[in-house]
Amino acid sequence: MKDLPAHNPRLAMTLMICATVFIAATTLLAKAIGTGALGAPLHPLQITQARFLFAALSLGGAALVLRPEIGKIHLKLHVLRTSCGAAGVTLMFASVAFIPLSDATAISFLNPVFAMVFAIFLLGEKVGPVRWSAAGIAMLGAVILLRPGSGAIAPGALLALGAALILGLEVIFIKQLSRREAPFQILLVNNAIGLLIATLAVLTVWQSPTVSQWFALAGIGICMALAQTCFLNSLARADASFVVPFSYGTLLFAALYDALIFDVIPGGISLLGAAVIIAGAALLAWREARLTTA
């Protein structure tokens, strides 16, 4: 058995920040493709298919070089996990065509809250008052971003909320897989199955991308693969309670990209909703870390 990575908080922090840069970049590229900035808008299913295609190619190339040992594959869990991931990512890519990147990113931070709820019913976990309070705070932030008093709830916000819900369910399957298989094997199988599912789903809506869109689609897949790699290696080098707060940097980079590329500046409601969601998610992450080390 290979030695585990050495404990290195500074490197872990750097890797997590790099992961947030890449994650925010995927939503930026998806928005450019979905809003017609690079040509006729492509369907979210086509963006998702490209995400799996180029991520699978990147990870497959890495596997040829690293030649990792492949153990038993728990196919049913992989199919469930990948189906949720594909559906959640598709909804997220669809949402950024309608709402600011910062709003969609902030709503995505609800997925650990939904994962907590799913864990109660699917894993039999018990939830105390602190975790329920954290979930309540985060959900309040989501209500703020949905802007119910504006006369009509933004459809993009509902799409992002649906993405967070489905990705929360994906977390449950990731937890079950992480107890059975190595991280790199999970990434390889996930992207291979995801590519198959997404390719079948995109057949009826596929259209020929422009050259610029091809580059953007490739960028999404490569950035996603890099983000996953940085994220997993970050968690392997420091305590989750230390590195997870740095993942909220995704919101900062998403807002920065939106401002620089699309000239979209977050308003007061967006900032308030994002702050409330992050407060609740941070409290939940802190409590989860305490429970893990208790």
Cβ atoms 142, 269 nearer than 8 A = no
pLDDT at residue 235, rounded to an integer:
75
Tell me the domain boundaries of the chain. Answer: 9-293
pLDDT at residue 123, rounded to an integer:
82
Structure tokens at 278: 């992050």
pLDDT at residue 244, rounded to an integer:
73
Ranges of the chain whose pLDDT falls below 50: 1-2
Between CA 248 and CA 177 the distance in angstroms is 25
- Reduced 3-state DSSP string for the chain: CCCCCCCCHHHHHHHHHHHHHHHHHHHHHHHHHHCCCCCCCCCHHHHHHHHHHHHHHHHHHHHHHHCCCCCCCCHHHHHHHHHHHHHHHHHHHHHCCCCCHHHHHHHHCCHHHHHHHHHHHHCCCCCCHHHHHHHHHHHHHHHHHHCHHHCCCCHHHHHHHHHHHHHHHHHHHHHHHHCCCCHHHHHHHHHHHHHHHHHHHHCCCCCCCCHHHHHHHHHHHHHHHHHHHHHHHHHCCCCHHHHHHHHHHHHHHHHHHHHHHHCCCCCHHHHHHHHHHHHHHHHHHHHHHHHHHC
pLDDT at residue 109, rounded to an integer:
87
Using alpha carbons, select from 217, 226, 228 the residue that is nearest to residue 54: 217
146-181: pLDDT as tens digits: 876 555 567 888 999 999 999 999 989 988 888 888
pLDDT at residue 38, rounded to an integer:
93
State the burial class of residue 6 (Cβ atoms within 10 Å of its Cβ: 0-12, 13-18, 19+).
exposed
Structure tokens at 64: 């040829």
State the burial class of residue 83 (Cβ atoms within 10 Å of its Cβ: 0-12, 13-18, 19+).
middle
pLDDT at residue 149, rounded to an integer:
58
